[in-house]
Amino acid sequence: SQTIHQWPATLVQPVGSPLSLECTVEGTSNPNLYWYRQAAGRGLQLLFYSVGIGQISSEVPQNLSASRPQDRQFILSSKKLLLSDSGFYLCAWTETSATQYFGPGTRLTVL
Amino acid sequence: GQQVMQIPQYQHVQEGEDFTTYCNSSTTLSNIQWYKQRPGGHPVFLIQLVKSGEVKKQKRLTFQFGEAKKNSSLHITATQTTDVGTYFCAGDNFNKFYFGSGTKLNVKP
């Protein structure tokens, strides 16, 4: 069966520091991968999605970037965090069925 | 760009009362999905609707997809405290998913 991992689970970072969040998927090949951000009490904002290695589409221009160095690995990065980057970051994957399976998420607090 | 709107934002009900959340898209959708997010958790897939006018049921939950494939609803009959959470709809548009803002349901015992 398929499993999606995200780490870390929680993170507290100072403003201006770098960020790296990792997501890996097991039990599937060539999945579509997604990064979402959810502000407290709000909906899900699509940040990036990828249909293959090295292929990244950005939905919202901001100080975040994403990379897919391997088929089942998706990384979200920032060189300098802003206060507004705080939120719940969710990684998700889909196959052709289009059902999205979400990872456990990373709660990021920028102070 | 595509927008998916969801109402109401919050709903407080007494246990046993019914609950409905509505989802509207600015464009025609190939399919629509519904997710539930428990407090502190991540969204979990509930169902996908594909056909125009489709109606699906899961125990006390009834999902509908509009004839024009631009709107959808989720109805819960006789809510229970286990129904507490935020319900999201999501429209699929060529590998991209646009989520509604969610309806947060609180059920008083």
Full 3-state SS string of chain B = CCCEEEECCEEEEECCCCEEEEEEECCCCCEEEEEEECCCCCCEEEEEECCCCCEEEECCEEEEECCCCCEEEEEECCCCHHHCEEEEEEEEECCEEEECCCEEEEEEC
CA B100 to chain A, closest CA, distance in angstroms equals: 7
Measured between beta carbons, the chain A residues lying within 8 angstroms of B23 are: none
- Cα distance from A44 to chain B (closest Cα, Å)? 6
A73 touches B at CB < 8 Å: no
Task: Give pLDDT < 70 ranges for chain A.
Answer: 61, 96-97
Considering only CB atoms, which chain B residues are within 8 Å of A98? 31, 33, 48, 92
Chain B residues touching A101 at Cβ < 8 A: 45
Nearest to A32 among B42, B44, B95 (CB): B95
- pLDDT tens digit sequence for B1-38: 668 899 999 999 999 999 999 999 988 988 999 999 99
